[in-house]
């Protein structure tokens, strides 16, 4: 019996060996999918509808599923958020409003076609930029009858009134609001937009002007005295930007990837210091400040220092950097190569009268051949120069612009005299002015509701207003007390 069973088992095994393999070994072309789109970069305004119709080719395009993936989608409150991938559509053709947060950078937009049979995904990589009207243009700080607001003028001269209050209905600006700043910090925190008021400030979203955070959140620890006045990165040789707050200097070490401002820079000596809200900088002295309490210039100790230093005593230069017993009205960059200007100008006023003085600093200089204290002169023949809401300096000629009442003046440093280069109607007084790319943008107010106007005045090579007229005029504002150009 056992013998029969073994024989039977052997026969079964032998027959099994003759089994014909009925597998399919024909080579079939794979379902290779190709998507073609008219262009690979798209620009769209936030909430506008984006339409993309990719042309899809392949053996079988009916068995595909689709995804439109966008990344990085980041948390606006966290500048270091690496972002996530978000699927914003599963349709073959994209046709819907874009609600993504506007940004300067481009989003990656991947069109993904997945073969539902093989599971293979095919990618078409695209770029998407989402913009808003408030990304680039002039921010205007308006003083109204009962409040303060921020309005906006786009590069095509369209006015958007009361943008701040519309974006922040429950967070009105204090009536003490005095300054708006937009600065590229050249650090991980990117562009900062801020509004300062008595005792504090807010950082604003770059596209909506919504309040992001309290000013003090920019610091490791809140400054002892929260009284912000300015933020500036005077040169790429400095480790700034510097925040000038409550008479102290604070630095953000952008080069070492810091995202917060540190403690107040240590005083240069036992006298202490009260910094005027301005800074100059260059290759020799990354940042120069003025100690208003002791009428002396100071400089950032260099490298990654967080201490201020006073200049050594030197009587061979145009003036004594440690003895300028006047009130600093401004200190700004002037004549010279944009990246490394040799002329920074400081305007001072006597404390006992209205006489003003122009001091020139060369932050690329030294104490001998190219003195850092380069020149100084009283400002003569310049009516009401002490009353200007701001001072502007040409980068190509030795000229300064200032305003008083309804007149715009140019001060010729070499001739040491000023002349009126534009005059508005009586009662329409200049309240704020800035210069950018050879154009003076200034605000006037005639004292009437809605009587605020912004003018664009191009500068000719002579320093006069080109063709003696403005190129653009945008009206219908209240009293504009500060303006700044922001780049989204």
* Residue in 4, 5, 13, 257 binding other proteins, rule: CB under 8 A: 257
Q: How many residues lie near other proteins (CB under 8 A)? A: 19
Smallest gap from Cβ 186 to other proteins, in A, equals 14
Instruction: State in angstroms the smallest separation of the CB of 223 from other proteins.
Output: 12
Q: What angle do CA 214, 215, 217 make, to 5 degrees?
A: 75
Q: Which is nearer to other proteins, 308 or 482 (CB)?
A: 308
Q: Which of 58, 56, 37, 55 is nearest to 118 (CA)?
A: 58
Nearer to other proteins, 268 or 452 (CB): 268
Token pair 């024909």 is found at 26
Across the beta sheet with 373-378, the strand order is 327-333, 344-349, 356-361, 373-378
Q: 117 vs 255, which CB is nearer to other proteins?
A: 255
Which stretch in 137-145, 302-310, 342-350, 457-465 sits in contact with other proteins by CB under 8 A? 302-310
Q: Smallest Cα–Cα separation from 249: which of 309, 313, 184, 202?
A: 309
Does 220 sit near other proteins (CB under 8 A)? yes
| Contact between 303 and other proteins per CB under 8 A | no
**CB contact set of 182 (below 8 Å; sequence gap of 6+):** 139, 191, 192, 193, 194, 484, 485, 486, 487
Nearer to other proteins, 264 or 480 (CB): 264
Q: What is the DSSP letter of 357?
A: E
Distance CA 366, CA 190 (A): 33
Find the binder of other proteins among 108, 154, 161, 267 (CB under 8 A).
267
Which of 46, 124, 127 is CA-nearest to residue 92? 124
Q: Specify whether the CB–CB gap between 424 and 447 falls below 8 A.
A: no
Smallest gap from residue 239 Cβ to other proteins (A)? 9
Residues 264, 335, 400, 413: which binds other proteins (CB under 8 A)?
Answer: 264
* 487 scored as a contact of other proteins (CB under 8 A): no
Question: Smaller CB distance to other proteins: residue 177 or 249?
Answer: 249
Among 221, 380, 436, 487, binds other proteins (CB under 8 A): 221
Would you count residue 304 as binding other proteins (CB under 8 A)? yes
* Residue 186 in contact with other proteins, rule: CB under 8 A: no
Residue 352 to residue 354: CA distance in whole angstroms? 7
- Residue 460 sits at φ, ψ, to 5 deg, of -85, 170
Interface residues with other proteins (CB under 8 A) are: 220-221, 252-253, 256-260, 262-267, 270, 304, 306-307
């Amino acid at each position: 019996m056992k013998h029969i069973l073994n024989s039977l088992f052997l026969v079964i095994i032998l027959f099994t060996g003759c089994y014909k393999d009925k597998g399919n070994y024909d080579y079939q072309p794979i379902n290779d999918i190709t998507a073609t789109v008219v262009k690979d970069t798209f620009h769209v305004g936030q909430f506008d509808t984006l339409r993309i119709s990719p042309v899809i080719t392949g053996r079988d395009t009916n068995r595909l599923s689709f995804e439109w993936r966008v990344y990085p989608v980041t948390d606006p409150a966290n500048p270091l958020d690496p972002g996530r991938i978000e699927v914003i559509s599963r349709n073959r053709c994209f046709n819907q409003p874009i609600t993504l947060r506007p940004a300067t950078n481009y989003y990656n937009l991947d069109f993904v076609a997945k073969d539902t049979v093989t599971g293979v995904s095919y990618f078409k990589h695209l770029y998407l930029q989402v913009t808003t009207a408030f990304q680039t243009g002039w921010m205007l700080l308006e003083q109204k009858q009962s409040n303060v607001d921020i309005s906006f003028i786009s590069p095509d001269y369209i006015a958007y009134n009361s943008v701040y209050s519309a974006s922040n209905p429950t967070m009105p600006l204090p009536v003490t609001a005095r300054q708006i700043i937009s600065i590229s910090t050249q650090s991980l925190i990117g562009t900062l937009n801020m509004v300062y008021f008595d005792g504090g400030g807010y950082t604003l979203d770059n596209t909506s002007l919504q309040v992001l955070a309290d000013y003090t959140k920019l610091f490791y620890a809140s400054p002892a005295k929260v009284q912000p006045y300015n933020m500036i990165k005077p040169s790429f040789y400095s480790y700034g930007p510097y925040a000038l707050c409550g008479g102290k200097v604070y630095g953000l070490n952008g080069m070492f990837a810091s995202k917060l401002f540190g403690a107040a820079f240590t005083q240069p000596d036992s006298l202490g210091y009260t910094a005027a809200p301005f800074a100059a900088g260059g290759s020799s002295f990354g940042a120069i400040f003025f100690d208003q309490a002791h009428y002396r210039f100071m400089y950032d100790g260099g490298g990654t220092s967080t201490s201020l230093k006073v200049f050594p005593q030197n009587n061979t230069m145009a003036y004594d950097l440690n003895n300028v017993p006047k009130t600093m009205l401004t200190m700004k960059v002037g004549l010279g190569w944009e990246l490394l200007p040799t002329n920074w100008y400081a305007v001072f006023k006597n404390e006992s009268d209205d006489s003003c003085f122009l001091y020139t600093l060369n932050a690329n200089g030294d104490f001998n051949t190219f003195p850092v204290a380069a020149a100084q002169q009283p400002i003569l023949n310049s009516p009401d120069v002490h009353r200007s809401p701001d001072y502007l300096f040409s980068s190509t000629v030795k000229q300064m612009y200032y305003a008083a009442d309804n007149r715009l003046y140019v001060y010729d440093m070499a001739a040491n005299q000023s002349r009126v280069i534009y005059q508005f109607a009586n009662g329409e007084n200049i309240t704020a002015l800035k210069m950018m790319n050879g154009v003076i943008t200034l605000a006037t107010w005639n004292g009437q509701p809605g009587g605020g106007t912004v003018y664009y005045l191009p500068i000719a090579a002579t320093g006069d207003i080109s063709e003696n007229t403005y190129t653009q005029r945008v009206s219908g504002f209240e009293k504009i007390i500060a303006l700044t150009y922001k780049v989204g």
